Amino acid sequence: KETIIRIENLKKHFQVNRGLLKEKKILKAVDGITFEIEKGETFGVVGESGCGKSTLGRTITRLYDATEGKIYFDGNEITKLKGKQLHPYKKKMQIIFQDPYSSLNPSMNVREILSEPLQIHTYLSGRDLELKIKESLEIVGLDATSVDKFPHEFSGGQRQRLGIARAISVEPDFILCDEPISALDVSIQAQIINKLEMIQEESGISYLFIAHDLSMVKHISHRIGVMYLGKMVEMADSASLYKEPLHPYTKGLLQSVPRIGTDSNFESILFGDLPNPVDLPSGCRFRTRCKYAKKICSEVEPTMIQIAPKRQVACHLYDK
Ligand code: SF4
Ligand code: MG
């Protein structure tokens, strides 16, 4: 299988000023992540808010400059490209944002909203531009007569369809989906997922699909990475991850998914809040919330261990 995105030891650190004394601290939002996404694959990334998953997406798509590490798109390194060199990759990597309400300019009609990326990235104009806009709307299941409407005239689900139409109009190879369904009703969530899957089947596009909840990535993801405080703690194909989670954090996340008729014992594994991300625990970052923590966990940071061809985990319980 060919790879569309590969990141190697990717880091994004921010300098922040904390407290009354405005003490300078480093926030390690993304702190050394390595994985690849295949062509036609959906890679899900899951973690609590504040774990760095949006920063990861924004660094990969070059909205943020990486602090360290490398990003490859279709075999070409793009980590430090700027301006004209970066421009063609900006077309190939589109983004769908979490909040369809705020990611669409309320004073622009649909024609103007969809024209924007097309005018930046293609030479289409006049009738061809109009046709492309209508074609994109049809793919996401919106009526071609929508072109004269404004965002407030659509429902939340329809607005997210507009966001998808805008992203696919320039025919990208990859879309970063940053919590695209979190703000939608459950019934609408399934429609959006189905639409994204249909587009993938027809175009072979790849997705990085971000969510804060494992139930939201289950259906769409081929593989899933679980993120905790800037690190991947486990990566696996979807089926294995749900059937046999390895990392204590993944187990905690899975048990926090409400299941009808069962008593969640979420608390027994995943207790407490995220530690302050500018003051990370020594050793394993998860140790302050892990009931399996032992001496080595506070002394040595666990590294990714390959368990099976598509299974990796970073936890001392699996040290050889
Ligand atoms: Fe828990 Fe230790 Fe594994 Fe970290 S390395 S998840 S503290 S057992
Ligand atoms: Mg986010």
Name the residue of 233, 249, 282, 284 whose CB sits within 8 Å of the most ligand 1 atoms, as the mutation to test its pocket.
Answer: 284
For 71-98, the DSSP string reads EEETTEE-TT--HHHHHHHHHHEEEE-S
pLDDT at 262 over 80: no
pLDDT confidence bin for 258, thresholds 50/70/90: low
User: What average pLDDT does this structure show over 161-177?
Assistant: 96
- pLDDT of 265 > 50? The answer is no
pLDDT of 251 reads 93
pLDDT at 268 over 50: no
> Which ligand 1 atom is the nearest neighbour of the CA of 290?
1
Q: How many CB atoms lie within 10 A of CB 310?
A: 15
Shortest-distance atom of ligand 1 to CA 316: 5
Over residues 253-280, the mean pLDDT reads 65
The pLDDT mean for the chain works out to 92
Indicate the length of the chain as a whole number: 320
Q: Is the CB of 229 under 6 A from ligand 1?
A: no
CA separation for the pair 307, 3 (Å, rounded) = 21
| SS3 track for 94-144 | EEECCCCCCCCCCCCCHHHHHHHHHHHHCCCCHHHHHHHHHHHHHHCCCCH
What is the distance in A from the centroid of ligand 1 to the CA of 59?
A: 27
Phi-psi region of 78 (alpha: psi -120 to 50; beta: other; left: phi over 0): alpha
Task: Assign residue 311 a region (left: φ > 0; alpha: ψ between -120 and 50; beta: otherwise).
Answer: beta
Q: Could you give the CA distance from residue 201 to residue 146 in angstroms, rounded to a whole number? A: 25
Instruction: List, for residues 197-210, the tens digit of each pLDDT value.
Output: 999 999 999 999 99
Q: What is the pTM of this model?
A: 0.93
Q: Which of 251, 289, 317, 319 to mutate to test the pocket of ligand 1 (most atoms within 8 A of CB)?
A: 317
What separation in Å is there between the alpha carbon of 33 and the centre of ligand 1? 18
Per-position DSSP letters for 148-182, written without gaps between them:
G--GGGS-HHHHHHHHHHHHHTT--SEEEEESTTT
| pLDDT tens digits along 233-247 | 999 999 999 999 999
Q: What is the DSSP-derived secondary structure letter of residue 280?
A: P
Q: What is the pLDDT of residues 279-306, one digit of tens each?
A: 899 999 999 999 999 999 999 999 999 9
Residues 190-203: what's their mean pLDDT? 96
How many domains is the chain partitioned into structurally? 1
| pLDDT tens sequence across 100-122 | 777 788 999 999 999 999 999 99
| Cβ(315) – ligand 1 distance below 6 Å | yes
Q: What CATH number did the domain enclosing 310 receive?
A: 3.40.50.300
* Enclosing domain of residue 121: 3-318
Among 181-190, 250-259, 295-304, which is the least confidently predicted range?
250-259
Q: Which residue has the tokens 């002394």?
A: 299
Question: What is the DSSP-derived secondary structure letter of residue 206?
Answer: E
The HSE-up count of residue 243 (CA atoms within 13 Å, CB side) is 6
User: With a 6 A CB cut-off, is 289 part of the ligand 1 pocket?
Assistant: no
Query: Which of 24, 124, 14, 5 is CA-nearest to residue 73?
Result: 5
Residue 197 pLDDT: 97
pLDDT of amino acid 58 = 97
Q: Which two tokens stand for residue 131?
A: 């046709």
Which ligand 1 atom minimizes the distance to the CA of 318? 3
> Which pLDDT score, from 0 to 100, does residue 263 have?
45
Written as six digits, the tokens of 34 are: 């390595």
Query: How far apart are the CA of 186 and the centre of ligand 1, in A?
Result: 34
Helices (H) and strands (E) in the chain, counts: 11, 12
- 155-167: b (≥16 Cβ within 10 Å) or e: eebbbbbbbbbbb
Q: Which atom of ligand 1 is nearest to the CA of 297?
A: 2
The mean pLDDT value for 24-47 works out to 97
User: Can you state the angle between helices 156-168 and 186-203, rounded to 10 degrees?
Assistant: 20
